[in-house]
Each structure stands twice: as C-alpha cells, then as structure tokens.
Amino acid sequence: MIVLKNISKVYPPDVHGLRDVSLHIKPGEFVSIVGTSGAGKTTLAKLLIAEERPTKGTIVIGGWDITKIKRREIPYLRRQIGVIFQDFKLLQKKTVWENIAFALEVAGEPRRRIREVVPHVLKIVGLDQKAHRFPRQLSGGEQQRVVIARALVHRPKVLLADEPTGNLDTMNTNEIIDVLKKINAFGSTIVLVTHNREVVNGLKQRVITLSDGRVISDQAQGKYILP
Amino acid sequence: MFAITTTGRIISFAWKNFTRNAWIGLATLLVLILSILSVNILLGVNAVSDAAMKALEDKIDISVYFKPETPVLVLDTARSYMASLPQSQEVDMRLPEAVLEDFKTRHKDDEKVLAALAELDQNPFGATMTVKAHNTGDYPFLVEALQNPQFAFAIETKTYDDNSVAISRVQHIAESVRLFGIILIAIFALFSILIVYNSIRIAVYTQREELGIMRLVGASNLFVKAPLVLSGAVQALLAMFLSAGAVVLMVAFLDPKLKIFFDGSDPGLQSYFMDNFVLLAGVQAGAILCLVIFSSWAATGRYLKK
C-alpha cells in the first residue's frame, strides 16, 4: 500500500528532516508514527501528501510513485488520501455541510451523489444534527470530526492523521480515536502521526518511532518507547 | 456535463466568496471606484483646460490693413492666395466701404468723430483682411506668406507683429497644459494600477489559508483561482458602472456652471465625455478587467505552490 525506500529530506542549508527512511505499510493497517518534536513526523506526513518532495528516495502509494508527481496531479493524489490535521484546516466561511461537500465538488462529483454521501459521513462522525453550523460554532472535537468526515468522502484507502488530537482534551481525544478505529475496521489504512503516549499505548497496534529523522523502532504491537 | 457542473460550481463559489467576504469586497470595490474616478476627473480637467486653450487660441488672428488706394484686383489676389494656403482656416476681407460703415456704426454716438469724417473728400480707410490659422504654430508661416510681392507692397500694417509675443506665449502655455495633462493622467493611471493591484493582493492575502486548505482537500488550481478571479471581475464591472454613474452626475452638475466661465460657449466637459463615451468606457472597462483578472490570478498563484 505505502512503500518508502531510502527517503531523505534535507532543508537548506543542511537541516535533515528525514534520513534514509524505509517503510512498508500494508493495506488495512493502523500505524502510529511517534517521535519527539523535530523527529521528522510532520515531514513524513507532508511527503505522503506531496506537500513536500523528498531529497532522495522513492515513495509509492497504491502502486503510484509520487516522488516525481506533477503539480497538476497533486489534487488527484489528495482525493485518494484522506488527511486530518491538528489545526483542523476547515474553511471558516463554509458550513459543516459545505466543507464536506467541497471535497466532492472539487472532484466534479454530481450533486445527487453529494446529497447521498455528505449525510452518510456526517452520521459516521455523529454530526448529522450540526450540518448547517459554521466551524466557529463547533467545539474542537466537533471540528476535528468534521475534518474526518471530509477526509472520508472519497472513501480513501489511506487516512493520514497528523496530530489529530493535539488540540483536544482527553474526552474529545478518545472520541476521535474511536472514530479512527471505526474507519480502520471498514478496511482503510490509518497512519496516525502523534506524540500522545496514552493514545499510542491504548491502541496496541504497529508503532514506528522516529528520532532525529531516522526510524529507531518498528514494532508490530508496539508501545510508546520514548521518555 | 462535467464542464457545466464545474462552471456552475465556480460561479456559485464566486458568488459565495463575494457575499461572505462582504467587507473586503466593499473595500476593494471602493478602491476600484476611486481609481477609476481619479483618472476620469483628470480626463475631465484636461478636457476643460483644452477647451479653455482652444477658446483662447480662437481669439488669435492676423489683421492686415491695406493702403486706401489699393486696387480691388490686388485685394482679391491677397485673399485668394492666403485662403489657398493649407495653414489658413478662415480669410475674411472687408473692403474699404465696409470698413467705413463699421467705423461709422462704432462711433455713431460720437458727433465730433463723425463730423471730422464728413470733412474728408474720400474714404480714409483701406481694406482689412483677417486671417485665422488652424494652429497657433502656423501664424509665423502665414506672416511670412504676407511677404508675397504680388500684394506685400499694398500692406500698410499688420497686427501680428504687435501680438506675436503674446501669441507665442499662449501657444507655449497651451502646449505645456496639454503635455502636463497627459503626464498627470499617465501618472494617475499608473498609481491606480498599483493601488488596484495591491488591494486585490491584500484581498487574496486575507484568504490565503482558505486557498491552501482548498488545495489540501484536492481542489485543482483552476477550481481555487477561478471563483476569486470571477468575483474580482464582477467587482470590476460593478465599479465601472458605479463610476460611470458618478461621472455622469458630476458632468451634469458641473457643465452648466462652467459655461458661465466660458461666456456661454461650450466648456468641453460634457461634449468630451459624450463624444468619447464608447472609447473611454471600452478602454477603462478593458483595462480594469484585465488588471483585476491578472492581479487575482497572480496573487492567488503565490498561495497555491504547495
């Protein structure tokens, strides 16, 4: 599903984001990528959605080598990978419904399908009653659930969550993790980038630990090993 | 079908963008209106000063006074020759009898002058020829043409020599006013372009996060840019209509008032805008549309590189 071969990322003049990282993530896995600040977690996430390009190595997602992806192809990649951000990245001037529908509209989906899909994903994340509110009228946890709903509309094979609980309290964190588990149970691969010890230990899934841009640990049913 | 759906969505997003960013839209609209108005005000000022200069230039002519005994044949030769020159706009010959009648009419209340005139056996006046040039710059040439030996010997005096300094000064002022007007319009147009470009950039800058998010959820560049460009184009057209309305009102208000300063003749303001309406509206609408579209496209591009 996701293959990283000898990936290195150097920011000028000589700051190493990642150093010779190789990974293989199988379809349907729930993988946590952990590390302290500056370990390279966010760099890895950005490379997976082609927000940045590696300095060296190749990244293949679902058989598609995205290392040399053209700019005009990036939107197509992003429609295949659902992305969840710590700072939500919702369009503040659009309602919950419009935020979710937008991801389908830009892909040219017909109105009838949008009317089917949006209520469905809103139900999955439990926000069907708040479809016409604006993001500022929602709590942090609710906003993050909107982001998850938006990420689900294209039925992505991979869901990349970059610190999705970073701005949330324990209760909202648990809710978000439960939603991610539910989505994983439907068959989607989940890549969770986090430094939340409790979340990682509670999942009892594969844990890849990064430090100083390198993979220092990759355990099938791992734990948060950093101090 | 896909193209229709996409176009429909772009229009819908443009409308939502316009209404939900009302304050930014209003500020941009005001900047556009002020820019268009400032250029038009200068065009109007230039038109009025041009009309004033033309009125002043119209008062300039050469008056040629012939000796009283000059034969009619010589006078005809002088009139025909001067009228045949392309630099001449109008040549008017007043024969001695007509000059005498004019003089009597002018002094009809002055008995002493009329009595003195009656003492004379013959008409003391010679013919008078008035020559008007197309351009003030042509007068020196016309004065030179009066040296023609076929009639130069019959000329007693001519007024241009006395007025030549004043005429050349008027000519110089007129040229300077026109040049200054063109330079001022060009500078204002340049300022307006910079102001409009920067206000569009600011409007786009305030939405930079949204633009990035749209890209992150899979929107193509066209899908992000087109609604912004479209709403910018609508703003530009709206600004054109509102500015045109303001210009019409200002011209209707000022033209009759300016007429007083022009002794009842046309101050050139209304006629300038009426005669050049299609050209002015076309050029300004085209320029402002191109400018807004280019500015929106370029400013949006900055935030879509990732």
> pLDDT, tens digit, for every residue of B269-293?
888 999 999 999 999 999 888 988 8
- Closest partner residue to B219 (CB to CB) among A71, A106, A150 is A106
Residues in B closer than 8 angstroms to A154, CB to CB, are 218
CA distance B34 to B188: 11
Question: pLDDT tens-digit profile of B209-252?
Answer: 778 888 877 788 888 888 888 888 888 899 999 999 999 999 99
Q: What pLDDT is recorded for position B306?
A: 54
* A106–B223 C-beta distance less than 8 A: yes
Q: CA B185 to CA B50: how far, in whole Å?
A: 14
- Residue A180 and residue A198: Cα distance in Å, rounded? 15
Name the token pair of B23: 């304050």
Alpha carbon A114 to chain centroid distance? Answer: 22
Q: Would you give the end-to-end CA distance of chain B in angstroms? A: 29
User: How many angstroms away from the CA of A220 is the closest CA of chain B?
Assistant: 30
Give the per-residue pLDDT at B2: 66
For the ranges B37-51, B60-74, B171-185, the lowest mean pLDDT is seen at B171-185
Average pLDDT over every residue of B183-197 = 83
Q: How many CA atoms lie within 13 A of A194 on its CB side?
A: 30
Residue A7: φ, ψ to 5°: -80, 125
Q: Examine the pLDDT at B140 and tell me if it is beyond 90.
A: no
Does A111 sit within 8 Å of B210, measured CB to CB?
no
As given in the structure block, the two tokens for residue A194 are 């986090």
Beta bridge partners of A85: A162
Q: Where are the beta strands (DSSP E) in B134-225?
A: 155-158
CB B247 within 8 A of CB B40: yes
Query: Which residue on chain B is closest to A51 by alpha carbon?
Result: B306
User: Are residues A83 and B216, on separate chains, in Cβ contact within 8 Å?
Assistant: yes
* pLDDT value of position B64: 92
Nearest Cα neighbor of B15 from B232, B200, B189, B263 is: B232
Q: Within a 10 A sphere around the Cβ of A45, how many other Cβ atoms?
A: 20
- Per-residue pLDDT for B20 more than 80? no
The predicted model gives B184-190 an average pLDDT of 83
Radius of gyration of chain B (CA): 32
| Closest CA in chain B for residue A50 | B306
Residue A56 pLDDT > 90: yes
Predicted pLDDT at B164? 65
**Residue A130's pLDDT is what?**
94
When pLDDT is cut at 50, 70 and 90, the band that residue B161 belongs to is: low
Over range B201-207, report the average pLDDT: 81
Query: Residue B56 and residue B50: Cα distance in Å, rounded?
Result: 10
- C-alpha angle A212/A215/A221, rounded to 5°? 130
CA B84 to chain centre: 30
- Statement: residue A175 has pLDDT above 70: yes
How many angstroms separate the CA atoms of B237 and B240, rounded? 5
The answer to whether A106 contacts B306, with C-beta atoms less than 8 Å apart, is: no
3-class SS shares of chain A: helix, strand, coil, % to 5: 35, 25, 35
Residue A75 and residue B16: Cβ atoms within 8 Å?
no
| Inter-chain touch A75–B215, beta carbons under 8 Å | yes
Select the residue of A78, A94, A105 nearest B216 (Cβ to Cβ).
A78
* Contact predicate B29/B239, CB 8 Å: yes
A52, A91, A154: residue with CB nearest B210: A91
- % of chain B beyond a pLDDT of 90: 20
Please indicate whether residue B137 or residue B284 has the higher confidence score (pLDDT): B284
Per-residue tokens: A130: 């708040």
- Closest residue to A75, CB basis, from B21, B212, B220: B220
Q: Which long-range contacts (CB under 8 A, 24 or more apart) does A47-50 make?
A: A47/A7, A47/A9, A47/A18, A48/A2, A48/A81, A48/A158, A48/A160, A48/A191, A49/A77, A49/A78, A49/A81, A49/A83, A49/A160, A49/B216, A50/A74, A50/A77, A50/A78
Average pLDDT over residues A112-140: 92
- ipTM value: 0.71
pLDDT at B167 over 70: no
Q: Give the pLDDT confidence of A181-195 residue by residue, as tens digits.
A: 988 998 899 999 998
Interface test with B, best of A43, A73, A91, A97 (most B CBs within 10 A): A91
DSSP letter, residue A52? S
What is the enclosing helix (H) or strand (E) of A92? none
**Average pLDDT estimate for B141-163:** 85
B3-26: average pLDDT: 80
Q: Which of B217, B223, B231, B305 to mutate to test the interface with A (most CBs of A within 10 A)?
A: B217
Q: Which candidate from B9, B213, B306 shows the least CB-CB separation from A89?
A: B213
Residues in contact with B63: Cβ distance below 8 Å, sequence separation at least 6, in sequence order: B128, B129, B130, B158, B159, B160
Determine the length of chain B. 306
Given a contact cutoff of 8 angstroms between Cβ atoms, the answer to whether A160 and A149 are in contact is: no
Gap from B230 CA to chain A (nearest CA, Å): 17
For A85, list phi and psi in degrees, rounded to 5: -110, 155
Residue B136: count of CB within 10 angstroms of its CB = 19
B270, two tokens: 């209304």
What was the pLDDT predicted at B116?
85
What is the average per-residue pLDDT within B257-275? Answer: 84
pTM here? 0.64
Is the pLDDT confidence value at A169 over 60? yes
Q: Which residue has the higher pLDDT, B208 or B163?
A: B208
Q: Which pLDDT band, with edges at 50, 70 and 90, does B1 fall under?
A: low
Question: Which residue do the tokens 């977690």 mark?
Answer: A41
Residues 6+ apart with CB under 8 A from A206: A29, A30, A31, A32, A218, A219, A220, A221, A222
Domains contained in chain A, CATH given: 2-91+156-219 (3.40.50.300)
Average pLDDT value for residue range B86-97: 91
Q: What is the DSSP string of A139-197?
A: -HHHHHHHHHHHHHTT--SEEEEESTTTT--HHHHHHHHHHHHHHHHTT-EEEEEE--H
CB within 8 Å: B21 and A93: yes
pLDDT tens-place string over residues A27-47: 999 999 999 888 999 899 999
Chain B residues closer than 8 Å to A90 by CB: 213
Nearest Cα residue to A148 out of A113, A171, A175: A175
Q: Which two tokens stand for residue B58?
A: 């119209």
Chain B residues touching chain A at CB-CB below 8 Å: 2, 5-6, 9, 16-17, 20-21, 209-210, 212-221, 223, 306
Q: Which of B21, B210, B217 sits opposite A106 (nearest CB)?
A: B217
Tell me the C-alpha distance between B219 and B63, whole Å.
78
Q: Is the dihedral of CA B298, B21, B205, A85 positive or negative?
A: negative
Q: Compute the distance between CA of residue B167 and CA of residue A41 in angstroms, rounded to an integer.
A: 83
Closest to A25 in 3D by CA, of A200, A226, A220: A220
Q: Give the helix/strand (H/E) hosting B28.
A: helix B22-58
Please give the domain boundaries of chain B with CATH numbers for all domains: 2-56+170-302 (no CATH), 61-162 (3.30.70.3040)
pLDDT band for B176, please (50, 70, 90 cuts).
Answer: confident
pLDDT tens readout for residues A61-113: 988 899 988 888 888 888 888 888 888 889 888 899 999 998 888 878 888 99
Q: Which residues of B touch A45 (CB under 8 A)?
A: none
Please, which residues have CB within 8 angstroms of residue B238's CB and are 6 or more apart in sequence?
B29
